[in-house]
Structure 1
């Protein structure tokens, strides 16, 4: 399987580096919606588009985490709890 490994020649430039260099060489332009701009440029910058989509899709708030902590406080009293760790984890995951 690896017999021809040493016969392979390394490429002089990587498509990823070429894509990044192309992006960095363009002039900045003002945009109102970054996601729409990246969607329009998905053919030009396919790898950067995917990375930008992942980055720009991160929620800006921690509401889900705070809600989970609030449910955990209602489920477990500060004084005593007879639930095991596994039971507590299962109840919080199921939302019961």
Structure 2
């Protein structure tokens, strides 16, 4: 399990977490993809527009009381699910 291995490694001081995750992709392929997804900002307006579109769907009038943290988590989970980085059954367990 990638997460168990990652959590059991020694803590090291890092100046650039994006670079660290990029370099550790072979060791932690799923975790690195998730970390890079979370740590990086979309570079093009198309990505930003797509994100806002998904956010609008997510933040419908029925769900307008979700916190920013919950919204961010749901958008990340949706992205990771489409990339097959997380399994639906793992999300259901939480």
Pairwise TM-score range, normalised by the shorter structure: 0.3 to 0.5
Q: Which has the larger radius of gyration?
A: 1
> TM (normalized to structure 2)?
0.43
* Structure with higher RCO (Cα < 8 A, 6+ apart): 2
Structure number having the greater helix percentage: 2
> TM (normalized to structure 1)?
0.42
